[in-house]
Structure 1
Amino acid sequence: MRRWLALLVAATTSLVLIALLVPLALLVRTVAESGAVSRAGSEADSVAMAVGSVDADTLRLTTERAAHPVTVFLPDRQVIGAPAPRSAAVELSSRGRSITAAVPGGREILVAVQGVLGGTAVVRVYLSDADLSEGVAQVWAGLAALGLTLIGVGILVADRLARAVIRPISSLAGVSHRLAGGDLSARTVPGGPPEVHAVGLALNHLAERITGLLSEERENVADLSHRLRTPLTGLRLEAESLGDPGEAARIEARVDALERAVTSVIVEARRRAQDQARCDAATVTEARVAFWSVLAEDQSRHFTLHLAPGPLHVAVAADDLAACVDALLGNVFAHTPEGVSFAVRLEPAPGGALLSVADAGPGFATPALLARGESGAGSTGLGLDIARRTAESSGGSLSLGTSGTGGASVTLFLAEA
């Protein structure tokens, strides 16, 4: 925008200066020519006063002292002063008319002197083109320098004005990007022209409104959690009171599945309501593996943990990443026999970190399938869905595969914070 404003001012200023300076330059040339002709006429008049009153030698000396070439054509065809042809203009002037005539390379000023013995004498003063334009080039150069200076000043002023407008606009753009990235504390300092100032106030008001709406959403999420868990608790108690153990177990399983689904909905709603978070993936992963290591020892599961030197900051809240790791390790314990080993690896990757959990169990029946409610292993697939949404919330992804021992392998790419 600054460049376009500078170009606009330069073009506008140039047009204005051309409209003013070109006529002024022509006027300067005309004035210079008129001045030169006037001075030459004065010289011719001075010489004309001496014609007829002094002798030929004195008249020749007078012509030689003139600033321009002076020639005196006497009635007897005698020529005194600078050599010059007797042109048609001289013949015309010898009839008693003082004239100015153009000649090759300049102009001649002719003054008729009457009363001279034998007829009319003619005094000729020759002005070359250089004499006619004397000083014009310097004045034109000054006008050109003045024009360029004015254009430069105009561009400089336009650039300063553009900076005064662009700086608050750039600030507004930066704040809007921060808000889009989840930084709800971003605010701008309104400034610039009144219109830009009004936009800054409106953006701050919008940010306040967004913060208020998210706060209301958090309250709604908390209320939703309370409202949904209460009837679920009632259903669980009703199931436990059934006389048929098989029927009670079946209903309790359904209640468990429903409770997990409700928990997933609440966690997702809370994640959308929270501000952008970050955590050290190495610290969280190490803590969760240490938590599950107790159960691994009880079930005689050998496990390995490979952590790259931290910290590895990723764009996921610590609680969310912990829940993700718990879901993946919980799947290992739930869907593989006791004694099956597993491995957890966390390593840096371009733009983030890679977290993988692999086991030596039977693996996925359909590794390419990752949909809510379908895991290919008879489960709801909720754990994998939580892991997928955790990875995608950071800007990453999840992939399923086969481990080196033939078991399941889940790899998450977590984007860098």
Structure 2
Amino acid sequence: MRRRLLRSTLAIALVAVVVLGLPLGVVGTALLHQRADMRLERRADTVALRVARAESAGTPLTTALVADLLPKDQAVRVTMDHRRITLGTLPTGAVTSVTSGDGGPLRATLVAPAAVRGDDVGSVWAAIAGLAVLALGAAVALATVQSRRLAAPLEELSRRVERVGEPSYDDRPVAGNVPEIDRVQVALNDADGRLADLIRREREFTANASHQLRTPLTGLRMRIEEIRALAQAPAMTVEADAALTQVDRLVTTIEHLETAARHRDDEPGRIDVGSLIAEHVETGRWRSRFDDAGRDLLVLADGRTDGRADPETVRQVLDVLLQNALQHGSGRVRVRTSSEGGFVRLRVADDGRLEGPHAAVIFARGVGAGSGIGLTVARELARRDGGDLLLVGTAPTTFEALFPAGRPV
């Protein structure tokens, strides 16, 4: 910002110097030329008067008569009674001539080098150039002071903006003595207060929701364990075990989302994404759900797929993509994992087509027939682990989740 202020102020000063200095120099040059012409004209008048007196007295008209009035490089042409006499030495090169303004029968034309009209012009332009340099120097000095006065509080304000919503945010006024900056500081303080209150309420809601959900889940687990203990048929035991697995999975999901919301997660460990996905498809009963819907679910893995990701993040992203394919897609669903370009890629594709505006805003909240947050949450979870979730094809519909690759565990 300081450089921009300096450059802009210097440009304005330069324009002002050019706009004012050039006309001043032109006018000064014209005045010097006019003064030189008047000086030559007065000398021509003096020469004409002296020649007229000499002619009346019968004195011979020689150069010595006007030698004190003519420098070596100047001459005078005297015209009288149809006679023309040249006194002095005519200059060579460019010349200027001035005729006496006597108006009588005798006229004296002074011939001098053209340079005599510009003897002082260089001094005028040198003075203007010196004043221009002084003006530009003063402008730079003032711009430096002004830029420091404006930039320092703005730079401090920008640093504080980066900490809005954090405990280290400094709400003290910026010492800038600039009303506009002070008003921005007040607005930032208000925004920080609102953000702090919003974060507090969201964290309280997250903690309350987690606590309130754990209590009924604990009771549900106890009831299912009692049902399993009272089960007499093997099929009932199997179903009870499956229900317990889903309850445990729901508790794990709640804890994982709570950790993600509070940003208390550690660096993800190394996992075999392909093996985890193949296992989750079976334990999460996804294959049976697709079988019940009369659709095929194909799971493939291209070589080793070791990556850095939280296992629960991978499971939840896969759940969202499979639920989306089951609810909104059609035909066979293909789940393929591969390692390429520094990422483990989880690709889920079905035979459906994604058309209309949903293709452009598919990850925005509220889009879709359901709650409209599944894909949004899945993308946020993937990005929290250093990956991403992308829509890579619309015909057929294909989503790809990326997780950072890692060495084999």
Which category describes the TM-score, using the shorter chain as reference length? 0.5 to 0.7
| CA spacing shift, 1:58–1:261, aligned 2, 3 Å | same
Verify the 8 A CA contact 1:190 1:198 in the aligned structure 2.
Answer: no
Aligned residue in 2 for 1:69: 75
Please give the secondary structure, in 1, of the residue aligned with 2:318: coil
Q: What does residue range 276-355 of structure 1 map to in structure 2 within 5 Å?
A: 317-318=265-266, 321=268, 355=308
Q: What does residue range 3-402 of structure 1 map to in structure 2 within 5 Å?
A: 9=9, 12-47=12-47, 48-49=49-50, 51-52=52-53, 56=59, 60-66=63-69, 67=71, 68-73=74-79, 77=83, 79=85, 81-82=87-88, 105-110=95-100, 112=102, 121-147=106-132, 150-151=135-136, 153-154=138-139, 157-158=142-143, 161-162=146-147, 164-166=149-151, 168-169=153-154, 172-173=157-158, 176=161, 185=168, 190=174, 192=176, 193-241=178-226, 244-246=230-232, 250-251=239-240, 253-254=242-243, 257-274=246-263, 317-318=265-266, 321=268, 355=308, 370-371=318-319, 392-396=383-387
Structure 2 residue 404 is the aligned partner of structure 1 residue 413: yes
Post-superposition shift, 1:159? 6.2
Q: Aligned AA for 1:26?
A: V
- For the pair shown, the structure with the greater C-alpha radius of gyration is 1
Verify the 8 A CA contact 1:50 1:59 in the aligned structure 2.
Answer: no
Please give the secondary structure, in 2, of the residue aligned with 1:199: helix
- Output the CA distance in 2 between the equivalents of 1:218 and 1:232: 21
RMSD across aligned C-alpha pairs, in angstroms? Answer: 5.4
- Output the CA distance in 2 between the equivalents of 1:234 and 1:178: 43
Verify the 8 A CA contact 2:45 2:102 in the aligned structure 1.
Answer: no
Verify the 8 A CA contact 1:169 1:196 in the aligned structure 2.
Answer: yes
- Output the CA distance in 2 between the equivalents of 1:232 and 1:41: 116
Aligned residue in 2 for 1:307: none
Deviating beyond 6 angstroms after TM superposition, the runs of 4 or more aligned structure 1 residues are 1-4, 322-325, 386-390
- Output the CA distance in 1 between the equivalents of 2:308 and 2:84: 117
Q: Aligned AA for 1:228?
A: L
Query: TM-score, normalised to structure 2's length?
Result: 0.54
Q: Aligned AA for 2:120?
A: G
Verify the 8 A CA contact 2:224 2:240 in the aligned structure 1.
Answer: yes
Q: Aligned AA for 2:95?
A: G
Post-superposition shift, 1:19? 4.2
- Output the CA distance in 1 between the equivalents of 2:248 and 2:237: 16
Q: Aligned AA for 2:66?
A: T
Post-superposition shift, 1:268? 0.9
| CA spacing shift, 1:390–1:32, aligned 2, 3 Å | closer
Structure 2 unaligned blocks of 5 or more: 284-303, 324-345, 347-376, 390-401
Greater shift after overlay, 203-212 or 388-397?
A: 388-397
Please give the secondary structure, in 1, of the residue aligned with 2:53: coil
Post-superposition shift, 1:13? 4.1
Structure 1 unaligned blocks of 5 or more: 85-103, 115-119, 278-316, 337-344, 348-353, 358-366, 376-383, 399-410
Post-superposition shift, 1:14? 4.8
